[in-house]
Amino acid sequence: MLNIKNLHVKLEDEDKQILKGIDLHVPAGEVHAIMGPNGSGKSTLSYVLSGRGGYEVTDGTAHLGDIDLLDIEPEERAAAGLFLAFQYPVEIPGVGNMTFLRTAVNAQRKARGEEELSAGDFLKVVRAKAKDLKIDADMLKRPVNVGFSGGEKKRNEILQMAMLEPKMCILDETDSGLDVDAMKLVSEGVNALRSPERGFLVITHYQRLLDHIKPDVVHIMADGRIIKSGGPELALEVENNGYADLLEGAA
Amino acid sequence: MPAERKTAVTDERLAALTLPAGDGWLRAGREDALGRLRAVGLPGRRDEYWRYTNPAKLVQADPEPSQPDAGEDPFAGVDADVITIDGDGITMPGTIEGLDVTTLSDAGGADIHWAKDLYGTLEAAGSRPVSRPLAMLNTAFATDGLVIRVTGKVARPLHIRTTGGTDPILHHVVKVEAGGALTILESGNVGARYNTALEVDVADGAAFHHLRVQGPDGGMHANTHIFARLGSEATFRSFTLSANGQLTRNEATIDLTGDDASATIGGAAFGDGDVHHDDTVFVTHDAVNCESRQVFKKVLRNGATGVFQGKILVKEGAQKTDGYQISQALLLDDDAQFLAKPELEIYADDVACSHGSTTGAIDETALFYLRSRGVPKRVATDMLVLSFLAEAVEEIENEDLRAHVGDLLTDWQARA
């Protein structure tokens, strides 16, 4: 599904290398977690894959299926099936959440040559999915993320994911700012989307999210590289011993 | 501009105009304004209040030839009583409960004492401390206008639709009697060049709402004036939606003279290309416990210029004043510019006044957020423009009209 080979990335305006050769393969149906200390490049990886500006790819490739991600615009990557759940979802005053969702869903359908959803059909689907995530009518009506609590913002991200039905989901520190109940709700939303056709890349600082979203593979990232990969037990090791041992082992 | 040059420009402009026929109170008001105008002369580039906007095309004897298209009715679908003003004259609606409407030319010959007391009075008051010579010119030479008296709460908005004039000078006076309420909608291209004045006296406990759409045509040179006086517990709200027009100078002078009055003036403007859009606002607090808000937003691109000059003057004794002013520009490229002169002048010690002005580009993080959801860049930019304007549009109190303006904006964007 997601294939990253020897990915090197630097900041566009600064002579600073962030990713120093990432190799990663997330097959369909699997959940991979990336853990790592602050500044290891986890979020940069998610941004580069989804096409945020400010970065320069100096070497390597990233493909979603047979689509060269690095060659196309962010909206094209989205239409190709890539989704990034933001660590800090952006507030957009004056644009209704529902309007935003419908615009996004129909823009993607249009880009893929599919028929746009009618207002009625869209409403039916969004209401059902919102209900699962305990998102009420008021939250759908309000401007995008404006006045939402931390938990509400993250649930709203998962709602977008559910509506857009991507092939590959990247979750960037989705657990940050969540209390236990909110984390449970968000995780249930994510787990409901797990399927043999869909891949997940879960970026997190802590093991606790992985109690709820059980990964197939855990990667440890440090200083722009994946220094170790293993099963779920690797996350527990981090939880118990911190990153220090792993970092020393890699050095 | 040197004094003699300024006099020459004024003389040249005045030579091209004649005081409309008639006598009585209207004639007296016209002559008074003409005298005041001769004393100060028409504005030039050197005048402090015209520093950011070149008045040349507004004051020159002949209007710049341009052909604004008739334009669609932006209030189509809004339930309103309509008055049309065009090259052929003024078409009045039937009887409206709570409302007396007549034309200025008809009223000028009749003994309507309230109109006599109002015509040119608020304009003259509004010319102190800053003189507004183009408003004086308007009072002196108004080709026509409406004389409106509101005696009750008028159920439906009154839509004044003005189209097709050549260099029209229109002057409306509105008196909202105590406890009365009226909403006026204004639309139409008015003319290739036009000068309008609206004097509104809002009596105690009365309410006046004003919603105006300018554009979306190109080529016009517009100078508009609003003069409002508010009695105690009176409400005044005005909002202007503008798109393009070569030169637009919208002035508003609002005096809060009764306690507990509330005034809001706002605008959302699009400028694309050879467009200069100027909002000049002067709010005077001269009573206790009044509130005023100024909220202006402009979206500019392709060389368009936006100007905001806004002042809050709090007079001695105007305690518990709550004054707010914000002007913001969203520049969609490097060729656009925004010039802002926010001013506070406060002579009372127990007031809360704040003002702010910002100029910025599209928020790249928000743009990326939308694009990452599959929204194409162009559509995402449009959404963020609407988002930027939303705070100003929120100032429109009436929910239906607010939604209508939102739809208009979306429609304009789709066609741009």
Give the predicted TM-score (pTM) of the model. Answer: 0.90
Return the structure tokens found at B282.
Answer: 């002067």
* Residue in chain B lying closest to A162 (CA): B373
Residue with tokens 């005048």: B47
* Residue in chain B lying closest to A161 (CA): B373
Read off the pLDDT band of B71 (50, 70, 90).
confident
CATH number at residue A48: 3.40.50.300
Contact A199/B at CB under 8 A: no
> Mean pLDDT across the stretch B366-374?
97
Which B-chain residues 245-274 have CB contacts (< 8 A) with chain A?
A: none
**β-pair type (B81-86, B89-91):** antiparallel
Q: Is the pLDDT of residue A250 over 90?
A: no
Q: Is the pLDDT of residue B299 over 60?
A: yes
Q: Tell me, what's the pLDDT at A177?
A: 82
> Mean pLDDT across the stretch B266-274?
94
* Residue in chain A lying closest to B366 (CA): A90
Read off the pLDDT band of B6 (50, 70, 90).
confident
* Residue from the list A73, A90, A103 with its beta carbon closest to the beta carbon of B366: A90
Tell me whether residue B64 is in a domain: yes
Q: Is the pLDDT of residue A10 over 60?
A: yes
B222 CB neighbour count, 10 Å cutoff:
25
- List strands edge to edge, sheet with A55-64: A17-26, A2-11, A55-64, A67-68
Q: Is the pLDDT of residue B298 over 90?
A: yes
What range defines the domain where residue A187 resides?
2-250
Please classify residue B142 by burial: count the beta carbons closer than 10 Å to its beta carbon, then call 0-12 exposed, 13-18 middle and 19+ buried: buried
Q: Which of B142, B117, B136, B132 is nearest to B43 (CA)?
A: B132
Q: What is the mean pLDDT of chain B?
A: 93
Q: What is the ipTM of this complex?
A: 0.96
* Residue from the list B370, B374, B376 with its beta carbon closest to the beta carbon of A164: B374
Whether A95 and B390 lie within 8 Å, measured CB to CB: yes
Residues linked to residue B208 through DSSP beta bridges, in sequence order: B182, B236
> Mean pLDDT across the stretch A82-102?
94
> Mean pLDDT across the stretch A122-133?
90
Portion of chain A with pLDDT greater than 90, in percent: 77
Q: Tell me, what's the pLDDT at A246?
A: 78
pLDDT digits (tens, 9 = 90+) for B144-164: 999 999 999 999 999 999 987
- Could you give the number of structural domains in chain A? 1
Whether A53 and B366 lie within 8 Å, measured CB to CB: no
Please classify residue A233 by burial: count the beta carbons closer than 10 Å to its beta carbon, then call 0-12 exposed, 13-18 middle and 19+ buried: exposed
- List strands edge to edge, sheet with B169-176: B99-103, B146-150, B169-176, B193-202, B221-230, B247-256, B276-285, B305-314, B337-346
The DSSP annotation for B63-120 comes to: PPP--------TTTTS--EEEEEETTEEE--S-BTTEEEEEHHHHTTS--HHHHHHTT
Contact A92/B at CB under 8 A: yes
Task: Decide which of A173 and B6 is more confident.
Answer: A173
Cβ-proximal residues to A186 (8 Å cutoff; 6+ apart), any chain = A151, A154, A155, A158, A174, A175, A178
> DSSP class of residue A243?
S
* Residue in chain A lying closest to B379 (CA): A103
> Mean pLDDT across the stretch A176-201?
91
> Mean pLDDT across the stretch A38-64?
95
Cβ-proximal residues to A251 (8 Å cutoff; 6+ apart), any chain = none
> Mean pLDDT across the stretch A207-225?
93
Tell me whether residue B385 is in a domain: no
Tell me whether residue B86 is in a domain: yes
Return the structure tokens found at A248.
Answer: 């020393």
pLDDT digits (tens, 9 = 90+) for B184-219: 999 988 778 999 999 999 999 999 999 999 988 767
Tell me whether residue B392 is in a domain: no
Q: Tell me, what's the pLDDT at B70?
A: 63
> Mean pLDDT across the stretch B387-412?
92
Return the structure tokens found at A199.
Answer: 């891949």
What range defines the domain where residue B260 resides?
3-361
Q: What is the mean pLDDT of chain A?
A: 92
Task: Decide which of B22 and B346 is more confident.
Answer: B346
Read off the pLDDT band of A238 (50, 70, 90).
confident
Q: Is the pLDDT of residue B1 over 70?
A: no
* Residue from the list B364, B366, B377 with its beta carbon closest to the beta carbon of A92: B366
* Residue from the list A52, A83, A160 with its beta carbon closest to the beta carbon of B368: A52
Return the structure tokens found at B138.
Answer: 């308007």
Q: Which of B354, B393, B249, B391 is nearest to B307 (CA)?
A: B249
Q: Tell me, what's the pLDDT at B67?
A: 63
Q: Tell me, what's the pLDDT at B293?
A: 98
Among B328, B362, B365, B369, the strongest candidate for a mutation testing the A interface, having the largest count of A CBs within 10 A, is B369
Q: Tell me, what's the pLDDT at B40?
A: 93
Q: Tell me, what's the pLDDT at A251?
A: 52
